[in-house]
């Protein structure tokens, strides 16, 4: 499985870029899965639902299944957050896994950057960022810079970088 990341500061367009890349790359016939890192507590379940009640009662894992999809929820309780590689090993094989977040991990990444946020570029201090997708031109950067909305060119770059071109 090939992996490639999308990083950036909050409100810099990561999720929109991820969504467009998944549509573009699957449209080219490749199978794609995604991993999204969250820095906050999240829940894919709702209070009062049976699966929520199972977890609240102490179940370590709850697998929810229907004819349309299945989801496995694993409660960490007092365990550490698993590393990205461990999580990837739990996924079914696909051509490409796009990873949103995990900016401190060493896999290759493109940085989503919006000038209006006023944030510095992660790429300036992180060798694992191999390109930038920005809403403004960036001068003096030794990495490829793409227009944030040029999904086709960004997809071309990613597929070539991971060897799927």
pLDDT at residue number 132: 98
d(CA 137, CA 104): 25
How far does the chain reach from its first CA to its final CA, in angstroms? 14
d(CA 60, CA 74): 6
Q: With contact defined as beta carbons under 8 Å apart, do 88 and 3 qualify? A: yes
**pLDDT tens digits for range 73-109:** 888 888 898 999 999 999 999 999 999 999 999 999 9
In the predicted model, is pLDDT for residue 39 greater than 70? no
Please indicate, yes or no, whether the overall pTM of this predicted structure exceeds 0.75: yes
**pLDDT tens digits for range 116-163:** 999 999 999 999 999 999 999 999 999 999 999 999 999 999 999 999
d(CA 122, CA 103): 9
Domains and CATH numbers, the chain: 2-41+81-162 (3.40.50.300)
Tokens of 78: 């007092």
Residues 6+ apart with CB under 8 A from 25: 32, 96, 98, 155, 158, 159
Split at pLDDT 50, 70, 90, the class of 41 is: low
Question: Residue 34 half-sphere exposure, CB side, CA atoms within 13 Å?
Answer: 17
Query: Angle at the Cα of 9 (from 6 to 15), degrees rounded to 5?
Result: 45
**pLDDT tens digits for range 3-34:** 999 999 999 999 999 999 999 999 999 999 99
pLDDT at residue number 160: 98
d(CA 58, CA 12): 38
């Amino acid at each position: 499985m090939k992996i490639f990341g999308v990083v950036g500061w909050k409100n810099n367009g990561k999720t929109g870029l991820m969504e467009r890349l998944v549509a573009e790359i699957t449209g080219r016939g490749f199978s794609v899965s995604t991993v999204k890192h969250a820095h906050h507590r999240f829940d894919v379940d709702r209070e009062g639902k049976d699966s929520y009640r199972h977890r609240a009662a102490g179940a370590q894992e709850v697998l929810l299944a229907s004819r349309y999809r299945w989801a496995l929820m694993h409660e960490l309780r007092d365990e550490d957050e698993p590393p990205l590689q461990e999580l990837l090993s739990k996924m079914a094989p696909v051509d490409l896994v796009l990873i949103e977040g995990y900016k401190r991990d060493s896999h290759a990444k493109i940085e989503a950057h919006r000038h209006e946020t006023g944030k510095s570029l992660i790429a300036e201090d992180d060798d694992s960022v191999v390109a930038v997708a920005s809403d403004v031109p960036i001068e003096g950067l030794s990495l490829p810079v793409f227009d944030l909305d040029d999904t086709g060119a960004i997809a071309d770059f990613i597929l070539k970088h991971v060897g799927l071109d």
